Amino acid sequence: MAVDDQRYIEILYGFHPDDWTFSWGDIVDTHYLLDREFIDEACSSTDFSSATDDLVFIYPFYFKNIYFIEGVIKGQITYAAEGDDAHIDAYKITLYKVNIDITTTELATTGWVEVNDTLVWDDELSVGDEIVYPFWIDVWQKKDVFGKDRLYIKIETKCNNNTVLMHRVGTETIDLKIEIPIRG
């Protein structure tokens, strides 16, 4: 493999800081962020959100140079039961870029992944089952990412109202992670 064929893997984690928001284009006052590192566990954050909503996690930084995405995007998402038994029929993860002119472009998607899982809620202990789904997205036709582009992922879920998407901070449990192969 030649040096120019090697890819850098950008690893991003999703979380929800309570006291900080970000706006860019159609994404207004979001708390859902992607970053290279977790914020400290002591920081004020929200551990989960209703999975019945489409959730968007944005990487709030510019790429500054021209890159392209090519290879296999992979990662994991975590769901849990909250308040009663949860049922997950399917999920879909889509990677987008949005440029300085606020034009959004879909880069890659898992499509709908059928899972048909039930997560049990324990009333006595007030805790629900969790499940981690790994995902892979093939990107073999390169996708350009320019200097003034920002990336975000959209997570869509077909589930009941007791299903939550986990996004805790800290390295003990990694709830939401995405690895993006980037070449310069």
Contact 181, 139 (CB under 8 A): yes
Q: What is the DSSP letter of 42?
A: T
30: containing domain: 8-183
Q: Dig out the tokens for 128 from the structure.
A: 């629900």
Report the range out of 38-47, 97-106, 110-119, 144-153 with the highest average pLDDT: 110-119
Kindly report, residue by residue over 128-140, the tens digit of the pLDDT. Answer: 999 999 999 999 8
Confidence (pLDDT) at 5: 62
Q: What is the dihedral of CA 181, 151, 33, 75, to 10 degrees?
A: -30
**Distance between CA atoms of residues 179 and 72, nearest Å:** 8
Burial class of residue 16, CB neighbours in 10 A (0-12, 13-18, 19+): buried
Confirm whether 2 is domain-assigned.
no
Cβ count near 143 (within 10 Å): 18
CATH of the domain at 87: 2.60.120.260
Average pLDDT of 20-40?
83
Confirm whether 33 is domain-assigned.
yes
Confirm whether 107 is domain-assigned.
yes
Q: Is the per-residue pLDDT at 12 higher than 60?
A: yes
Confidence (pLDDT) at 8: 87
Q: Is the per-residue pLDDT at 47 higher than 50?
A: yes
Q: Is the per-residue pLDDT at 11 higher than 60?
A: yes
Confidence (pLDDT) at 147: 86
- Percent of the chain at pLDDT above 90? 60
**Distance between CA atoms of residues 175 and 61, nearest Å:** 21
Instruction: State the total domains in the chain.
Output: 1
Confirm whether 1 is domain-assigned.
no
